[in-house]
Amino acid sequence: MVRYVILSIDSFDYIENKTGNMLIRYRTSEVVAVIDPSKQGLFSQDVIGVGGKIPVVSSFNDTKQYKPDTLVIGNAPQAGKITEEMKSELISALSFGVDVISGMHNFLSTDKELLNIAKKNKAKIIDLRKPPSPPHFPEGTWKNRSVPVLLVVGSDCDTGKMTTAWEIKERLSAYNKNIEFIGTGQTGILLSKGVAIDAVVADFMAGEVEYIIDKHIKSDTDLVVVEGQGAITNYAYSGVTLGLLHGCMPDYLVLTHDVGRDKDVMGHEIPDLGNFMNIHIDLMAPFRETRFLGINLLTFELSEEEAIEKVSYYKTKYELPTTDLIRFGDSDFIDAIKDAIE
């Protein structure tokens, strides 16, 4: 079993530590410690509400007692660049013979200093965002695809698209459905398989998604669930969303939304969700019919009563199964997906 330590300097919280949090939530027994000097002495459960007694320590040296074999960079800062403080911890880990997994845009495996230390200590550096080589151009294989594809899209970045996609996969699997999960960011790839879509040259985005879907469809696959990225109305990240739409050519869509957010991360107002969903349907219209099966809300900042009211409000307004999967469970949300693929 892998023994992960998560590097998340000054960013171990519910939002910023995206990759680390998903490992803690879904690979709890494999995570031995979190590095964040600002929260030293706490436990994971104290900080993000999951993970139990996974300790938070100040440096890699403090993790040696837990015998880690892999360090994962847990946060995903804009532009994906590491700081000097982070690099110092990476050097400590590699010097101890511990593998390093990074989802950063600047590839650690091209850093000669890190590479030399890794080779000297028989450690590996794994860059999750390295795009496939050679690249794949779209061929339109979706036209003959017999297995349905569901793409999770969001009203903005950081609205729980990866979590929603993984939860759908896990919950449908509990019903004995054969689900293939395709990750499109570092977290999804680390949990399963996939391609870091934001690292792919624009001309090949759709092709890479199409290729990896086709590669992993089996004769008994009931549904392919694809993790979404960005948001179609976020001017900084809409390109990856469009590439995913055209690569997936989804039969079904699920929407994620942070109920406490009126503006996206770029400061632009998030449109009415009905209009937002219609944009996706209109973009697919030249190719195929698609429809939304449900809405998964991010309500962690609300009280229980407020969250219940929001779920009821969105469910009534948009006439779609609505829940917060982490907080309230399936409701009729998973049933709607299960009914669609049966």
Q: What does the pLDDT look like over 162-198, one tens digit per residue?
A: 999 999 999 999 999 999 999 999 999 999 999 999 9
* Integer angstrom CA distances of residue 96 from 123, 182, 203: 8, 33, 41
Q: What does the pLDDT look like over 231-277, one tens digit per residue?
A: 999 999 999 999 999 999 999 999 999 999 999 999 999 999 999 99
Helix residue ranges per DSSP H, 199-332: 205-216, 238-248, 273-284, 304-318, 325-328
% residues pLDDT > 90 (the chain): 93
Residue 336 pLDDT exceeds 70: yes
- Name the pLDDT band for 80 (thresholds 50, 70, 90): low
Residue-by-residue DSSP string for 11-57: T-STTT-HHHHHHHHHSGGGEEEEE-GGGTT-BHHHHHS-STT-BEE
Residue 104 pLDDT exceeds 90: no
What average pLDDT does the structure give for the chain? 95
- Name the pLDDT band for 147 (thresholds 50, 70, 90): very high
What pLDDT score does 82 carry?
80
* Integer angstrom CA distances of residue 311 from 70, 159, 294, 327: 39, 15, 11, 11
Domains along the chain?
A: 4-127 (3.40.50.720), 141-341 (3.40.50.300)
1/142 Cα distance (integer angstroms)? 37
Residue 78 pLDDT exceeds 80: no
Whether the model pTM is above 0.75: yes
What pLDDT score does 1 carry?
87
90 CB-near residues (< 8 Å, 6+ apart): 7, 71, 82, 100, 108, 114
- Name the pLDDT band for 28 (thresholds 50, 70, 90): very high
119/339 Cα distance (integer angstroms)? 52
Torsion 292-15-226-331 (CA) sign? negative
What pLDDT score does 49 carry?
93
- Tokens matching residue 246: 């055209």
Residue 199 pLDDT exceeds 90: yes
What pLDDT score does 106 carry?
85
96/76 Cα distance (integer angstroms)? 24
136/212 Cα distance (integer angstroms)? 10
Q: Are 114 and 74 in contact (CB under 8 A)?
A: no
- Tokens matching residue 199: 């690292």
254/243 Cα distance (integer angstroms)? 17
Residue 15 pLDDT exceeds 90: no
Residue 105 pLDDT exceeds 90: no
CA atoms within a 13 Å half-sphere pointing along the CA-CB vector of 57: 18
What pLDDT score does 77 carry?
61
The mean per-residue pLDDT over the stretch 54-80 comes to 91
